[in-house]
Amino acid sequence: MRTCAICKKKPLTGNSIVRRGLAKKTGGIGKKISGITRRRFFPNLQKVKAVFLNGTVRRINVCVSCLKAGKVKKAPSRRSYVAPAAV
């Protein structure tokens, strides 16, 4: 569910590290690790209306890095603007 439809980017796991104490450069004896908890790093996914190869419009989850790289052709808006005729 939380994956990019283009590059298949998905959540990664890592650690959330809690430290206490005063850093050595500010006069303390150094920071000590007091807790490590597992956490997840989620990709920046956005729901976008995109045009596929056969011309169909679908709403897909796409990461922002794919949007910036231009890997997705966004669908045109439903309201098409018609310029007024010159008189």
Q: Using the predicted structure, report yes or no on whether residue 14 has a pLDDT greater than 80.
A: yes
Q: Using the predicted structure, report yes or no on whether residue 11 has a pLDDT greater than 80.
A: yes
Query: Which class in CATH covers the domain with range 12-69?
Result: mainly beta
Instruction: Note the pLDDT tens digit of each residue in 47-78.
Output: 999 988 788 899 999 999 999 999 999 988 87
pLDDT bin (cut points 50, 70, 90) of residue 37 is: very high
Q: Using the predicted structure, report yes or no on whether residue 79 has a pLDDT greater than 80.
A: no
Domain spans, the chain: 12-69
Question: Measuring CA to CA, how many Å separate 2 from each of 24, 44, 60, 63?
Answer: 41, 10, 11, 10
Residue 1 confidence (pLDDT):
76
